[in-house]
Structure 1
Amino acid sequence: MDSLNTAQSYLFDAIELLQPAAESLTRAATPNRVATAATVVGTTWAAHKLYRLLVPPRHLRKYTTPGVWTSIRAFAKGLGYLEQRQVLGEAMIQDSLKRGLATSRDDPPPPIYLLWLLGYWIVVVQNPEDIKLVLTNHETFEKVSFDLGYTDKFLGKNLVFSQTPEWKRQRKVVNPAFRRGWATSLFGTPARNLIKNLDEYAATGNVVNPPEWMQRMALDALTLVAFGTNLDSINHPDSPIVVTYNTLIEESVDLSTLLNPFYKWSKAGKRMLGLIEKFDQFLFHMIDTKTAELAAKRAAGLQDDDHDSRNLLEMMIEAAEGTDFSREDLRANVVIFFVAGHDTTANALSFAMYLLGLHPEIQERARQEVISIMGDADPTVPAEEMLYPTTKQERSMIYLTCVIKEVLRLFPSVAVLPHRITTTPVTLHDGTTLPAGTRFSADMFSLHRSPAFWGPDANEFKPERFLDSVGPDGQVPMHPGAANFRWTPFGGGQRVCVGQQFSLVEQRVVLSMLLLRYTWSVVGDGQALTGMPATMPGTLLHAKGVQVKLVRRGADA
């Protein structure tokens, strides 16, 4: 009998022994005896609750787990995501060896494991069969509200995190706004501003921090797309609204702070609440201004026929007319587009620069493809005149798309699927049946790097692995089914990321312009040079310590 069964047996035996005593005390009740009985019952109840809190359910104990205390320490230390998974992964290896679930450290990782978080045992899968199951059965795997600190207040009830009934209501307004093309000028203009600043680094030989600059550029592109207004964080990173937004993002993913049970009453919690209120004022002003502008245009009989260049907010406002989609619904979906459309794309571009800098031969191959499509643009022209690709040109960049796909395989912007909860019993690929109410997640990072599904070169940067999948239309398929759900950075099923095409167009435009303008290499941080940089806390992958050195093409000729 294992230790968990032994503990449970002792607990049940104790309850059986205490039951007659409690009945006897009840029959001969005196104040002291009643107090003693209450203490016994209370202690037994607390022990049972603690047991349920710390010990996995019986039907899940066959899966390896890093354990409760290791998990608590890893989350509380505020480790970066990749550093945190090293700690948890080592604990799971030790657990597997101790329990005979593995014969050596070199055994392949288990397809399913258990993770403890905030009092819940979460079943985490890292295999294509079960990930396909969760992504294509969204009503069975219902989304769970992420209510830590003021995060729920910040994000609101939006298309991404809402449960199925609310999602069905909101998608009628939000989805149509994303079923469109994206004018490359929406990204080319912010990219020109980025290049203007990067030219100074290239001229001086100073190193560049890609995550910082990509965050700023992507924020400008997003606000241009979302509102038709560029926040110009490239040139004004310290403007009040840019600082407010960036602070909100940093604090909303810091579990080491949010796990504080007194967070809402703390100084940090009160500051967070004030920042949310300030950001709401900005958003509601934009919503009200755009609503008034649309009404004025309609009254004047004006109409904008350039569908691909229209901003999302006005398209959602128009789609919401005559529905129950409220001003607060607009606000919540603009916020999630900020988070999902800005942060994830910026991270993808940062890792693309990083990996291309580590692999000059792949960088040059991508550059030559861009040149073959756009022509070898003069890299000495002013940044304001820098070419950006047309829609037809960016869609023709097959190898560059494979580069983007491989970057997202190795460093998916969302490393772990946000938690779900089963609404009905579910049977996993190994035959385990999960009862309704089971917490569930998927480890995309591990899936994308598993030798079992990607071969012995799973950890290598090899964009050409996707060239064989190019379809008759000349396009690289970006849906999970094309890779049998081994590749899922944008999710899948009906609730696939609505901003996928937005992100892909932005990445192709920005990277093609950088490839025409510069060559670059990774320098500095020793950990980054190994191919696995340090990261920030949270399951959105933010690289730390990555630096590149840029050289203007033609400057050394």
Structure 2
Amino acid sequence: METLVASASFDRIAAALAVAFATWVTFKLYKILVPPQNLRKYPKAGTWTLIRTLAKRMGYLEQHEMLFEAMRDNALKRGIIKSRDETPSVYLTWFFGRWLVVVVNPDDMKLVLTKHDVFEKLPFDVGHTTKFIGRNVAVVQTPEWKRQRKVVNPAFRRGWATSLFGLPARQLIKHLDAIASSGTIMDPAGWMQRMTLDALSLAAFGTNVDSLNQPDAPIVKTYNTLMAEILDISKLMNPFYKWSKDGRRALALIEAFDRYVFGLIDSKVANITARKAEASGANGGEEDEARDLLEMMVEAAEGTDFSREELRANTIVFFVAGHDTTANALTFAMYLLGMHPAIQDRARQEVISVIGDVDGTTSDDAMPFPTADQERRMPYLSCCIKEVMRLFPSLTIVPQRFTTTAVTLADGTMLPRDTLVTGDIYSLHRNRAVWGPDANEFKPDRFLDSVGPDGQIPMHPAAANFGWTPFGGGQRICLGQQFSLVEQRVVLAMLLLRYTWTVVGDEHALKGKPESMPGNLLHAKGIQVRLERR
């Protein structure tokens, strides 16, 4: 009898525990899958819709279209918008178990980008990203950022010699000449990736890795394989990634790349020390714009607590971000100019008026590239670049922030402390309420009325009331902005002098919707271009 009573008691306890556990799981799932009460007024795409797009490894543009249309359906159903031409000013998205507030209007974008003490950067440590990127000025939180920028800013806040881009572009032209003469169709993405890698290695390290001529060189293969691994979000979603075969391989690649970078750092330190010992001056008479980033940071770090690891992290982030983003911008520039021959020709005529024309017998190693003065005197080309980066921003979203205190959005909504927030740059740049009914069209002329007395097109977000933010904004605006813009003007000017080109082949691209790779960094895929020598 006592045994039966004990057994019944045990069953009741087990049942109670099971109910309690089920209740706890249900509550947790509810918290994960249902937005907080104060945010439920905003439209959203379904959580499972997002998970399906990630599982299918959709390219960014395809994924964005699917999720944005699902969000618009939700907004229409709830009366938040009245037609599909409208873009909600704020929406919600699900991010690994938490709800993220996404702003798509200039006022809130300005708030997020300029109030960096209120919208603090969210640490992002998925897979081996922190191991690779390190703690650099782009990702650390505000107190640490203030310390690091004292060393890093002087290395970036200077001019960049146009030869850093013109010389690698000549090597690119050598290969493109062969493609043009053979009538072969080319995908600009791969070529731009290699050319910008060479320019970045020259600017960052003072050493050209020469990926255009040696694409299979060990350091080039290590870097390219590592980047493909680091950017594969579908793999990084695996909670056991670090211990997986892919994770172990990524770690080995990072360690190999580190050996290369630390070797360069140690060599720079030794060279600078030797120069000073010979009393030859810190820069040997060189202009700042001709010196590489690592050398300038090594010198700026002297007498500070800036570590060897921080030198590595800040060189790496410039190397990675500057190379990939500029390659993507140049790829989409070739795409849009190839789709719009009249605009391409107008840009070419401006380049000719500034630099002078070249004849068909000019060799690749004699191709002129703009001087620092000339690259500033091509406003229409700058309008083209600005419009390309509006339609296809390399970074499609603002890196995630969290609120450090309660803050009020433009629509009056109060976000409590510890709310995750980001900005949808891609959607903001195509928002008809901001850019008009032709927001999805390639029209560089829309920026011509902003040309300043000096002939420059302003490339800061305030010039477009924070409706144009491909480089971010505020005090933490991308440090490599000027580097990227100078490179784009130099390379495009040289290509326009040398070739005419058209987009062919891929039906997605020809319909104005090129394919892309997964991830929030916009990589074009499958664009096909036919080049002709002028």
Q: TM-score normalised by the shorter chain: which range applies? A: over 0.9
Amino acid corresponding to residue 518 of structure 1 in structure 2: Y
Shift of 1:95: 2.1
Shift of 1:381: 1.3
Shift of 1:31: 4.6
Shift of 1:54: 0.9
Q: Quick one: distance in 1 between partners of 2:151 and 2:470?
A: 24
Q: Quick one: distance in 1 between partners of 2:431 and 2:73?
A: 19
Equivalent residue in structure 2 for 1:94, among 52, 73, 90: 73
Q: Quick one: distance in 2 between partners of 1:353 and 1:418?
A: 27
| Residue aligning to 1:50 | 29
Shift of 1:51: 1.0
Q: Quick one: distance in 1 between partners of 2:9 and 2:89?
A: 57
Change (3 A) 1:43 1:94: same
Say which SS state the counterpart of residue 194 (structure 1) adopts. Answer: helix
Paired residues, what number? 524
Map 1:306-321 to 2 at 5 A. 306-321=287-302
Cα pair 1:534 1:543 within 8 Å, conserved: yes
Map 1:93-172 to 2 at 5 A. 93-104=72-83, 106-172=84-150
Deviations 1:310-339 (A, max 9, x none): 000010000001111101001111111111
Q: Quick one: distance in 2 between partners of 1:379 and 1:426?
A: 60
Shift of 1:166: 1.1
| Residue aligning to 1:9 | none
Equivalent residue in structure 1 for 2:343, among 362, 385, 391: 362
Q: Quick one: distance in 2 between partners of 1:397 and 1:379?
A: 23
| Residues 1:536 and 2:517 are matched in the alignment | yes
Amino acid corresponding to residue 432 of structure 1 in structure 2: T
| Residue aligning to 1:371 | 352
Equivalent residue in structure 2 for 1:258, among 228, 233, 236: 236
Q: Quick one: distance in 2 between partners of 1:492 and 1:423?
A: 19
Shift of 1:30: 5.4
| Residues 1:441 and 2:422 are matched in the alignment | yes
Map 1:209-358 to 2 at 5 A. 209-302=187-280, 303-358=284-339
| Residue aligning to 1:432 | 413
Equivalent residue in structure 2 for 1:75, among 41, 44, 54: 54
Q: Quick one: distance in 1 between partners of 2:392 and 2:22?
A: 48
Shift of 1:509: 0.6
Cα pair 2:61 2:515 within 8 Å, conserved: yes
Q: Quick one: distance in 2 between partners of 1:60 and 1:93?
A: 16
Amino acid corresponding to residue 426 of structure 1 in structure 2: V
Q: Quick one: distance in 2 between partners of 1:250 and 1:35?
A: 49
Cα pair 2:503 2:530 within 8 Å, conserved: yes
Shift of 1:102: 4.0
Say which SS state the counterpart of residue 323 (structure 1) adopts. Answer: coil
Shift of 1:523: 0.9
Cα pair 1:453 1:486 within 8 Å, conserved: yes
| Residue aligning to 1:61 | 40
Say which SS state the counterpart of residue 522 (structure 1) adopts. Answer: strand
Q: Quick one: distance in 2 between partners of 1:484 and 1:322?
A: 40
Say which SS state the counterpart of residue 126 (structure 2) adopts. Answer: coil
Q: Quick one: distance in 2 between partners of 1:64 and 1:541?
A: 25
Q: Quick one: distance in 1 between partners of 2:205 and 2:226?
A: 20
Q: Quick one: distance in 2 between partners of 1:40 and 1:212?
A: 57
| Residues 1:477 and 2:453 are matched in the alignment | no
| Residue aligning to 1:10 | none
Amino acid corresponding to residue 490 of structure 1 in structure 2: F
Amino acid corresponding to residue 95 of structure 1 in structure 2: N
**Bigger mean CA offset, 91-100 vs 159-168:** 91-100
Shift of 1:33: 4.2
Change (3 A) 1:238 1:548: same
Amino acid corresponding to residue 240 of structure 1 in structure 2: P
Unaligned stretches of 5+ residues in structure 1: 1-28
Cα pair 1:71 1:117 within 8 Å, conserved: no
Deviations 1:502-534 (A, max 9, x none): 111111110111111111111110111112200
Q: Quick one: distance in 2 between partners of 1:179 and 1:498?
A: 8
Cα pair 1:379 1:516 within 8 Å, conserved: no
| Residue aligning to 2:440 | 459
Q: Quick one: distance in 2 between partners of 1:403 and 1:301?
A: 47
| Residue aligning to 1:174 | 152
Say which SS state the counterpart of residue 35 (structure 2) adopts. Answer: coil
Q: Quick one: distance in 1 between partners of 2:361 and 2:479?
A: 37
Deviations 1:115-155 (A, max 9, x none): 00110100001100100000110111111122111112111
Cα pair 2:81 2:87 within 8 Å, conserved: no
Q: Quick one: distance in 1 between partners of 2:82 and 2:496?
A: 47
Cα pair 1:76 1:255 within 8 Å, conserved: no
| Residues 1:416 and 2:397 are matched in the alignment | yes
| Residues 1:404 and 2:385 are matched in the alignment | yes
Shift of 1:263: 1.2
Q: Quick one: distance in 2 between partners of 1:100 and 1:129?
A: 22
Unaligned stretches of 5+ residues in structure 2: 1-7
Amino acid corresponding to residue 304 of structure 1 in structure 2: G
Say which SS state the counterpart of residue 56 (structure 1) adopts. Answer: coil
| Residues 1:40 and 2:23 are matched in the alignment | no
Give the root-mean-square deviation of aligned CA atoms: 1.3
Deviations 1:378-413 (A, max 9, x none): 242111111111111111111111110010001011
Identity %: 65
TM value normalised by structure 2:
0.96
Amino acid corresponding to residue 180 of structure 1 in structure 2: R
Q: Quick one: distance in 1 between partners of 2:236 and 2:113?
A: 28
Amino acid corresponding to residue 42 of structure 2 in structure 1: Y
Q: Quick one: distance in 2 between partners of 1:491 and 1:283?
A: 27
Cα pair 1:417 1:442 within 8 Å, conserved: yes
Equivalent residue in structure 1 for 2:481, among 500, 517, 530: 500
Shift of 1:43: 2.2
Q: Quick one: distance in 1 between partners of 2:359 and 2:270?
A: 44
Shift of 1:179: 1.1
Shift of 1:41: 2.5
Shift of 1:99: 3.3
Q: Quick one: distance in 2 between partners of 1:532 and 1:304?
A: 50
Amino acid corresponding to residue 181 of structure 1 in structure 2: G
Q: Quick one: distance in 1 between partners of 2:490 and 2:72?
A: 42
